[in-house]
Amino acid sequence: MAPEQDQVQPINLRYSAALFGSAALLLALTIRFVLPALSGTKQAEPVLLWFAAAGIGVFVPLVLCGWVILYREKPSMGSAGWMERLHLRPMAREDWIWAFGGLSAAGILTAGLVVVLRELGYDAGLHPSFMAMEPLTPGRFWILAVWLPFFLVNILGEEFLWRGVVLPRQEIALGSRAWLVNGIGWLLFHLSFPWQVLVTLIPTTLILPYVVQRRGNTWIGVVIHAALNGPAFLALAFGVIS
């Protein structure tokens, strides 16, 4: 049974700014203070410290925030109701087509922006410094086992909160413009990243919420987000990109 409309309260521009702004501040504090503190006390690769700091300090709180919002809506809702409320619907053929189209568009546009930035001499900031790492060798493949749970909580946590919990409520308040507000808020969530990274994130942060709202299916966001972030990290980890 789907949640009743009057129990799902709208999220307007002010509420959206508060949610995304709070998350952006949490991420900024983690990067500005937590990571330097950890790097001064631990002899570990920067990327491992990022997994720990961001996983525990940012993405887990995002998941908890989403559950709090949901609980306050309708705590007695059954599992089927939760899935419908979060727009976690079975992927139809058309959903897969839109997911592939959105992924292709975001990937091509992002790659184009990377090429332009490199040609302009701004390649040094194309990924955050805390993601820097030497290419993996057989004795360091265990890092992938540490990355996997971080990858899952990152993708599922963000898509659960931003697209599953927040976007449907933004649609009530903002209608057809909800994807745009959601995408801009998601981009600003990464405001503490280098500006070059922000530029390359623009296609994904706008295309993904548009496709999710257009199809009304949060799983599409999970697919696109995972298909972009996963291979990108693996390419960085194995020295394909630098």
11 versus 131: which is more confidently predicted?
11
3 in any annotated domain: no
- Identify whether the C-beta of residue 165 lies closer than 8 Å to the C-beta of residue 70: yes
pTM of the model: 0.94
- Dmax over CA atoms of the chain, in Å, equals 56
80 in any annotated domain: no
- As a whole number of angstroms, the distance between CA 131 and CA 45 comes to 9
Tokens standing for residue 187 = 């981009």
83 in any annotated domain: no
84 in any annotated domain: no
Q: Which domain holds residue 222?
A: 10-73+104-237
Question: Of 51-55, 81-85, 93-97, 227-231, where does mean pLDDT reach its minimum?
Answer: 81-85
Question: Of 7-16, 18-27, 38-47, 58-67, where does mean pLDDT reach its minimum?
Answer: 38-47
- As a whole number of angstroms, the distance between CA 82 and CA 142 comes to 36
Q: Is the pLDDT of residue 1 over 70?
A: no
pLDDT at residue number 78: 76
- Identify whether the C-beta of residue 236 lies closer than 8 Å to the C-beta of residue 127: yes
Question: Of 28-42, 93-107, 179-193, 220-234, where does mean pLDDT reach its minimum?
Answer: 28-42
How many structural domains is the chain composed of?
1
Query: Mean of the per-residue pLDDT values for the chain?
Result: 93
Tell me the pLDDT band of 2, cut-offs 50, 70 and 90.
Answer: very low
81 in any annotated domain: no
96 in any annotated domain: no
pLDDT at residue number 108: 98
What residue has token string 């030497």? 134
